[in-house]
Chains A and B, each alone.
Chain A
């Protein structure tokens, strides 16, 4: 299976680099002692540097075993960084540095395979830091919270709280998307209907919101997939241009079995 997994974690990692580059937030809550704040910056920088090296190596190395070794090293690296960030966060509870530490843990905990720590980070961020600017960089992962296996009740409660209490539109929208997709996959028919209702609400509640646009679009895609692209349904027709510039439709192939393959060399 050549499913493209690395670029995905890379995307998250790159987003984190942007986070590292951002200036330290000042005075949103009581100022943190200088030392832990600097330690956290160091943890993030070391992580960033080593992971950039590993990423480069992963691109250049062709040998499967060497690639696996690099991926293993990445996993160890991310585990250690998550432990370090958590240590800093716990040493200065309630401060903006703690919020940044927990934010790192929430972002990378899933990649480190540490669900307990990820849950803990989520709790801290919601209970003590709901107004922190770190949430700006977290919205992309909030949208995927429902897929992280953090425990059904916990996920649902966290997402509902974020929809209601977050002061940021992007986080509200991401949480609504996350809750909608999460509920839409549940067994109970009531929950599935509620999930679809949340996904539809996105387009209405955030229609004019630039920061929420991504989630509005993803919600539309998810609704389309749930209502039109399920096994047993007639496949929606599409029109496209081929490699010779000729237009064609899926319906041109009626009477034939068609394997539709979304792919890319990239």
Chain B
């Protein structure tokens, strides 16, 4: 996931697109921030805490990791994946929604 996400963020840097990482590790914010920097994860991450305790994954009923929601420019959920559908599938869906956002 991570190498592909880096490429995705870089490729769409100037497009109406954002990747939001919903991180569920148990390390504290400082440790995670350091690790993200070392790994070059230069997109925003919500620091949620471990799955068993995290409020948003509990509320959203996240059943496995990764879980992905793709939301269009109007805020509508357009895709949901439990487990990655593969890099190509993600690219195709994201690109289609970015194109849609730019024509409207």
Using a CB–CB cutoff of 8 Å, the interface residues on chain A facing chain B are: 1-4, 8, 217-218, 220-222, 224-225, 229-235, 238, 240-245, 248, 250-251, 253-266
Q: Is B40's CB within 8 Å of the partner chain A?
A: no
Given A235-B75, A257-B16: A243 in contact with B29 (beta carbons within 8 A) = yes
A265 to chain B: which residues have CB within 8 Å?
25, 35
A253 touches B18 (CB 8 A): yes
CB of B22, distance to nearest CB on chain A (Å): 4
Query: How many B residues face the partner with a CB closer than 8 A?
Result: 58
Give the residue of B17, B24, B75, B94 whose beta carbon is less than 8 angstroms from that of A263: B24
Contact status A260-B75, CB under 8 Å: no
| Chain B positions 21 through 65: 1 when the CB is less than 8 Å from some CB of chain A, otherwise 0 | 111111001001101100000001111101100001111111011
Interface string of B51-84 (1 = CB under 8 A from A): 1000011111110111111111111111110011
Give the dominant DSSP class at B's interface: mixed
Interchain CB contact under 8 A, B84 and A3: yes
Given known A-B contacts A231-B80, A257-B101, A262 and B57 have beta carbons under 8 A apart: yes
A261 to B32, CA, bound (A): 16
Contact (Cβ within 8 A) B22 A263:
yes
CB pair A232 B83 closer than 8 Å:
no
The interface residues of chain A lying within 8 Å CB-to-CB of B1 are: 2, 261, 263
Which of A4, A253, A254, A263 lies at the interface centre, i.e. has the most chain B CB atoms within 10 A of its CB?
A: A263
B44 near A259 with CB under 8 A, answer no
Evaluate contact between A224 and B60: CB separation under 8 angstroms.
yes
Q: Which residue of A lies closest to B46 (CB)?
A: A240
| Chain A CB within 10 Å, residue with most, of B20, B36, B98 | B20
Show 10 residue pairs from A and B whose CB-CB distance is below 8 angstroms, ordered by the A residue: A229-B61, A243-B33, A250-B71, A256-B101, A259-B69, A261-B66, A262-B60, A263-B21, A263-B23, A265-B25
